[in-house]
């Protein structure tokens, strides 16, 4: 199942019988997820130029899911005793679709703080216990992509001939004073400017405390979200493309400035 994704380097894990549930009850959902996720492509310029938690490519992915009926939903769970409301809890999920035999929920965590995984998994656990969803899906940066980001960003910097902080600013990126100091310290230590800047950039923007595969796996393997059936999808290095966009346009789309 989801072989077309694994063939492209995606990491895919199934937990709590999610694979069997999807095979029997949700083959249409599997086809839709394969079609949408296999089409992901993120220009390196968007990875560098995006100012917030999402790249433009992530927003395109959200629109592709929405076009197939995977839309945002706010679940309201109410507890009543003798007709009187005693408790009401809401759970907002970004992508939800109802099929003939149940409901699938999906969250994309491209680059949030990693505690967002706890929120997603706990929401899935509660919604599954209440019978509101059958399976929860989480899509995030895969291990190969996370490990490759410094090299990919350095390749971009070398290709652009970046040799100074002024060159970075010319791309409408805005390194903080601390970042500038760290880059220059690394250069003084013998690193090339592209290597120094890419290391600082990735450590700050896509660091260990952000949402990526290892952080998600750690939580699921220690039981967070259990027993909700889960599908974990890690986006691979292979989705990153070069020479297809303009980083200045990406920065402008993000609001004109982004740390670098």
Q: Per this entry, what is the length of the chain? A: 260
Q: HSE of 171 in the Cβ direction (CA atoms, 13 Å)?
A: 26
Give φ, ψ of 40 to 5 degrees: -65, 130
Give the Cα separation of 197 and 201 in Å (integer).
Answer: 6
DSSP character at residue 237? G
Domain ranges of the chain: 3-253
Write down the pTM of the prediction: 0.91
Q: Residue 234 has what pLDDT?
A: 98
Give the domain 3-253 fold.
Restriction Endonuclease (3.40.91)
CA distance 125 to 118: 10
pLDDT (tens, 9 = 90+) of the chain, 260 residues, equals 899 999 999 999 999 999 999 999 999 999 999 999 999 999 999 999 865 557 888 899 999 999 999 999 999 888 788 877 777 788 899 999 999 999 999 999 999 999 999 999 999 999 999 999 999 999 999 999 999 999 999 999 999 999 999 999 999 999 999 999 999 999 999 999 999 999 999 999 999 999 999 999 999 999 999 999 999 999 999 999 997 656 556 555 544 444 55
Joined together, the tokens standing for residue 249 give 């346009």
User: What per-residue confidence (pLDDT) applies to 117?
Assistant: 98
At residue 75, the pLDDT reads 94
- Which tokens in the block code for residue 188? 């003084």
In this structure, how many other beta carbons lie within 10 angstroms of the beta carbon of residue 237? 17
Instruction: Name the residue with tokens 């001939």.
Output: 161
Find the Cα–Cα–Cα–Cα dihedral 60, 62, 64, 65, rounded to 10°: 170
Q: Output the DSSP codes for 98-145.
A: EETTEEEEEEEESSSBTHHHHHHHHHHHHHHHTTS-SEEEEEEE-HHH
Nearest alpha carbon to residue 28 among 127, 105, 93, 97: 97
């Amino acid at each position: 199942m989801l072989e077309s994704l694994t063939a492209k380097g995606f990491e895919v894990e199934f937990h709590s019988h999610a694979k069997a549930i999807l095979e029997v009850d949700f083959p249409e959902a599997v086809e839709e997820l394969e079609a949408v996720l296999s089409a992901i492509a993120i220009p390196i310029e968007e990875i560098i130029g995006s100012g917030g938690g999402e790249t433009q490519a992530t927003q395109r992915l959200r629109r592709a899911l929405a076009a197939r009926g995977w839309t945002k939903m706010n679940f309201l769970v109410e507890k009543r005793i003798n007709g009187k409301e005693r408790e009401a809890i809401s759970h907002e999920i970004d992508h939800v679709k109802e099929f003939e035999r149940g409901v699938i929920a999906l969250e994309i965590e491209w680059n949030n703080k990693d505690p967002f995984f706890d929120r997603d998994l706990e929401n899935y656990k509660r919604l599954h216990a209440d019978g509101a969803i059958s399976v929860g899906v989480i899509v995030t940066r895969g291990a190969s992509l996370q490990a490759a980001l410094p090299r990919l960003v350095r390749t971009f910097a070398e290709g652009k001939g970046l040799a100074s902080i002024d060159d970075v600013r010319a791309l409408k990126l805005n390194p903080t004073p601390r970042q500038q100091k760290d880059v220059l310290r690394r250069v003084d230590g013998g690193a090339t400017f592209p290597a120094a800047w890419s290391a600082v950039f990735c450590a700050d923007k896509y660091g260990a405390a952000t949402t990526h595969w290892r952080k998600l796996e750690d939580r699921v393997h220690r039981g967070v979200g259990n027993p909700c059936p889960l599908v974990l999808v890690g986006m691979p290095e292979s989705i990153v493309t070069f020479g297809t966009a303009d980083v200045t346009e990406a920065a402008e789309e993000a609001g004109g400035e982004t740390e670098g």
